Amino acid sequence: MLHTRISQQLAEDIGRMAEDLRVPVSNLVRNVLEEVFSVVERVTENVGDVIEGVLDEAGRSRRRAAPAPRQDPPDILGWQQLILARAGCCADCSAPLSRGERAYVGVTGSGPSPVTLCADCLDARCA
């Protein structure tokens, strides 16, 4: 059993609807609540899929909008993965790179270069 306070207007609306449907008010309220919970469960189960789809599409859009991959400068010997100690941005697509995020720095014969890339741009350069 459940007791709750509702406005007079809502009580009248529920009573009128129950009368129109020829069901007791308690059955109408129970059926409505069960249906609402069922809908909420279905929606929340699908939210993860929707968000994943949106993020995938955003990534595809970013790659389409990104300039053509640049060729590595001749002094870059390779790329080293690292975890950023401070925020920055990708040298190719200007995507923000957060502190703690994995990124790639170009390595030259004399040490690290100033070129830092996100994983997508590194993949594009190495393709």
Give residue-wise pLDDT tens across range 20-69.
Answer: 999 999 999 999 999 988 888 877 777 777 777 777 788 777 767 656 55
Instruction: Give tens-digit pLDDT for 82-91.
Output: 999 999 999 9
CA atoms within 13 A on the CB side of 2: 9
Same domain, 57 and 16: yes
Domain check: are 60 and 14 in the same one? yes
- 99 and 84 in contact (C-beta within 8 Å)? yes
Distances from the Cα of 72 to the Cα of 9, 25, 31, 41, 87, angstroms: 71, 73, 65, 50, 23
- Tell whether 24 and 44 lie within a shared domain: yes
Encoded amino acid at 102, one letter: R
Kindly report whether the global pTM for this prediction surpasses the value 0.85.
no
Q: Domain containing 98: what range?
A: 76-126
Residues 26 and 53 in one domain: yes
- By CB atoms closer than 10 A (0-12, 13-18, 19+), residue 67 is exposed
Residue type at 72? D
